[in-house]
Amino acid sequence: MFDLMAQLQSNIDAEHSLRNKLRLVSAIKHMPERAVFYAHWHDKSGPSLHETAETNSPNAIVKLFLGERAVERLEGEVQALCVRAGLLGVSGPARAAEFLFCRPNLSLYATRLCPGHTGTLSLKLDAAPPDYLIQGAAMWLAEIIRRNHSINGLAGNYWRKVLNQDAPLSASEERAASKFEKLHDKVREVAYMALPAASGPVTQSPGHGDFQLGNLIYDENTVYAIDFHAQNRRPVAQEIAYFLIRTNAFSDTQGSTLGLNDRLIAPFRTILPEGELDRLLPFFLGVELLNSFKRCEHWSERAVYRRNKMAERYVASMS
């Protein structure tokens, strides 16, 4: 990781428009397709690099894209960030990280470091998540819906497509899914059972793409969202289902509503038309559980174990 960081800093220093403006401080995470860094950033309106270095306080986040389609993924994510930031504005209780700049030639972009702490820092292993985290997540999503949403029916072929019935898997996704083939097939069967009841009006809004507590920053009465993935409009109920599964990877979410504690679901009911979430969640929870079998290649063993237990509860609750 240090070699990558040193090489990236060298590339930044060679860029005339960035030279003496951006200094990487430390790595946050590194995955095969991306790396994320803390950094010092200054422009005419901000502190100098010397001043920020004196306080040793990073004030920017740099995200670097790696591998195939790096520039395409970069541009999609920057567009998603700017759209959400434009919707939410710079004041109010729900916001997006402040966009600083994008350099496709370096496959990176930067945002201002948000104040506060991620939701995952407030989680205690195997304990139920604090109410304020779930309420803050629901509030942030509600603000996106308030500013931009539509309610309409979905074409019949959409439901088949969203179950990924015809989508080919990559080799790594195939390996990840095949480890739990029996459970995967049970979840798919139950999701199909839930499909007829899901028909009807669906609320859609601009999605986050990775809506989870780790990408929400809590600062007193403000919730910031970071690390958007390129997403078009999607059903809000699907965004909520993804959130519940990712929360389960850290916390005790066991309960009697689709295998989940209803306390986690209740705040999200209020942001959708009456009855919509209860109608759609059985289907979309199955959809996102199926997706998680493909995406779990980089999950910890504990997170995979908790996902599997959640999938078993989901199947049992619908049987």
The CATH number of whichever domain residue 76 belongs to comes to 3.30.200.20
Instruction: Looking at the structure, tell me whether residues 61 and 186 fall in a common domain.
Output: no
* Nearest Cα to Cα of residue 235 among 141, 318, 300: 141
Query: What's the pTM?
Result: 0.91
Instruction: Looking at the structure, tell me whether residues 308 and 163 fall in a common domain.
Output: yes
Q: How many domains does the chain have?
A: 2
Q: Beta-strand (E) ranges in the chain?
A: 22-31, 34-41, 60-65, 94-96, 99-103, 108-112, 117-118, 150-152, 202-206, 216-219, 222-225, 233-235, 254-257, 260
Q: What is the CATH number of the domain that holds 189?
A: 3.90.1200.10
pLDDT, tens digit, for every residue of 103-124? 999 999 999 999 999 999 998 8
pLDDT at 166 over 70: no
Q: Can you read off the two tokens belonging to residue 136?
A: 């803050």
Half-sphere exposure of 25 (CA within 13 A, CB side): 20
Bridge partners of 23, per DSSP, are: 40
Q: For 227-255, what is the mean pLDDT?
A: 91
For residues 169 and 138, the model is more confident at 138
Q: What is the pLDDT of residue 68?
A: 87
Q: What is the pLDDT of residue 173?
A: 63
Instruction: Looking at the structure, tell me whether residues 72 and 93 fall in a common domain.
Output: yes
Judged on CB neighbours under 10 Å (0-12, 13-18, 19+), 309 is: middle
Instruction: Looking at the structure, tell me whether residues 190 and 284 fall in a common domain.
Output: yes
Q: What is the pLDDT of residue 126?
A: 83
* Nearest Cα to Cα of residue 223 among 311, 48, 57, 93: 93
Instruction: Looking at the structure, tell me whether residues 230 and 292 fall in a common domain.
Output: yes
DSSP, residue by residue, 119-155? GGGG--TTSPPPHHHHHHHHHHHHHHHHHS-EEE---
pLDDT at 160 over 80: no
Alpha carbon dihedral 134, 135, 141, 142, in 10-degree steps, equals: 150
Q: Which H or E run includes 309?
A: helix 301-318
Instruction: Looking at the structure, tell me whether residues 151 and 249 fall in a common domain.
Output: yes
Do 35 and 74 form a contact (C-beta atoms < 8 A)? Answer: no
Q: What is the pLDDT of residue 180?
A: 84
Q: Beta-strand (E) ranges in 222-272?
A: 222-225, 233-235, 254-257, 260
Where among 96, 113, 130 does a domain terminate?
A: 113
pLDDT at 135 over 60: yes
CA of 131: how far to CAs of 36, 127, 134, 263, in Å?
Answer: 29, 12, 5, 8
Q: In what order do the strands lie in the sheet with 233-235?
A: 150-152, 202-206, 233-235
Instruction: Looking at the structure, tell me whether residues 105 and 249 fall in a common domain.
Output: no
pLDDT, tens digit, for every residue of 1-55? 668 999 999 999 999 889 889 999 999 988 888 999 999 998 766 666 656 555 6
Instruction: Looking at the structure, tell me whether residues 156 and 194 fall in a common domain.
Output: yes
Q: In this predicted structure, which of 9-23, 79-93, 133-147, 166-180 has the lowest mean pLDDT?
A: 166-180
Q: What is the pLDDT of residue 155?
A: 72
Domain that residue 185 falls in:
118-318
Instruction: Looking at the structure, tell me whether residues 103 and 147 fall in a common domain.
Output: no
Q: What is the pLDDT of residue 229?
A: 84
Q: In this predicted structure, which of 173-177, 243-247, 287-291 has the lowest mean pLDDT?
A: 173-177
